[in-house]
């Protein structure tokens, strides 16, 4: 299973903001830090705001910050809100299913169980968990500027 780049960027934004400890960040700051497209991040940030994960602030001192505590943001929920679907195979979507063995396939139930286990595992972790482990990630985020007024 592979998550979309959109989900990857969403998780990166949240991790970055978790390390900001309540301080705001800009899209340009995130794009520079991760070396990814600012245009992609605009869409990601908009969606994270619509889903209540971040607050966006306009104006001279605008930017974004977490709307909730890292402990209250469940990774499984974020992934569900950013992935378009979890159709591992064509047969997972009855509208698109043209597989001739769908009705007799014994692999499909195993894949349903695997998908459920994947999401159940992600539901056990919060943004706080992801932001604190491993120790190597703390050093990677050391360069995040914390701005104090």
Map out the domains of the chain with their CATH numbers.
Answer: 5-84+126-140 (1.10.10.10)
More confident residue, 133 or 23: 23
**Is the model's pTM score more than 0.75?**
yes
Distance of alpha carbon 136 from alpha carbon 42, whole angstroms: 28
The residues, any chain, with a CB within 8 Å of residue 128's CB and separated by 6 or more, are 18, 69, 70, 71, 73
In the prediction, which pLDDT does 136 show?
55
More confident residue, 28 or 148: 28
Q: What is the mean pLDDT of residues 26-40?
A: 94
């Amino acid at each position: 299973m592979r998550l979309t780049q959109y989900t990857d960027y969403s998780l990166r934004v949240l991790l970055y903001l978790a390390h900001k400890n309540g301080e705001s960040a800009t899209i340009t700051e995130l794009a520079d830090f991760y070396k990814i497209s600012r245009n992609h991040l605009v869409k990601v940030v908009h969606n994270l705001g619509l889903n209540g994960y971040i607050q966006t602030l306009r104006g001279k001192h605008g930017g974004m910050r977490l709307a909730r505590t890292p402990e209250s943001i469940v990774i499984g929920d974020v992934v569900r809100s950013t992935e378009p679907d979890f159709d591992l195979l064509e047969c997972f979507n009855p509208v698109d299913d043209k597989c001739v063995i769908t009705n007799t396939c014994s692999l499909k139930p195993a894949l349903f169980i695997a998908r459920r286990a994947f999401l159940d595992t992600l539901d056990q972790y919060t943004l706080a968990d992801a932001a604190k482990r491993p120790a190597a990630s703390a050093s990677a985020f050391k360069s995040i500027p914390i701005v104090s007024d």
